[in-house]
A and B are shown apart, each in its own frame.
Chain A
């Protein structure tokens, strides 16, 4: 069945460090790919997305590129801030009628120290 493998956390970085969170997936068809973020005490928020091969999603300094050949969607940020401390979820979304059914990774907890 469809699945997603995310880099295990927790990840602890110093401010301004480079961040990579790996994500690979298996999915039937041609899914859209999403990264969601959950800040402490808040609900899940869409961070970025990519809908076709080689698309790069970006938001708030984060980027991820849809790599069809490696079925990956790694999240990167060149210089993290304390405010980036959160849990990050990779979620491929397969088309199901008029909806997207999201498949969720375990989430990667990121802590950024000043």
Chain B
């Protein structure tokens, strides 16, 4: 299957700083990418749908000013957690849509905010 990478795989930061997570589709172009959040022993929660060249669509309850998404090219979407706080600590996962019924997932990024 196609490959999606995420960088970094883990990051530790101080409260109040911003953190950028990259999601890349390595061998296909993805008009649409998705960002998920996963808490321990819980399911994935869709945060936003990222469309190349346009604004992201955020799910209800997700602060768009807190979680900035930029999908500047067909192979790269970034999620920036601004002014991170300990409650933002989580596992963030991206996926890239290859076809309507096929998403390829990145390995995830573990964010810890001290």
Say whether, besides A45-B1, A89-B43, A106-B43, A99 and B106 are in contact (CB < 8 Å). no
Query: Per-residue CB proximity of A3-41 to B under 8 Å, as 1/0?
Result: 010000000000000000000000000001010100000
Residue B32 at the chain A interface, CB threshold 8 Å? yes
Residue A49 at the chain B interface, CB threshold 8 Å? yes
**Chain A interface bracket (under 10, 10 to 19, 20 to 34, 35 or more):** 20 to 34
Residues of chain B within 8 A (CB-CB) of A104 are: 36, 43-45
In chain B between 81 and 103, which residues have their CB closer than 8 angstroms to a CB of chain A?
93, 95, 97, 100-103
Partner of A44, one of B42, B46, B97, B105: B105
Partner of B100, one of A44, A45, A89, A100: A100
Chain B residues at the A interface, C-beta cutoff of 8 Å: 1, 4, 32, 34, 36, 41-46, 49, 93, 95, 97, 100-103, 105-108
Chain A residues at the B interface, C-beta cutoff of 8 Å: 4, 32, 34, 36, 42-46, 49, 51, 89, 93, 95-96, 98-102, 104-107
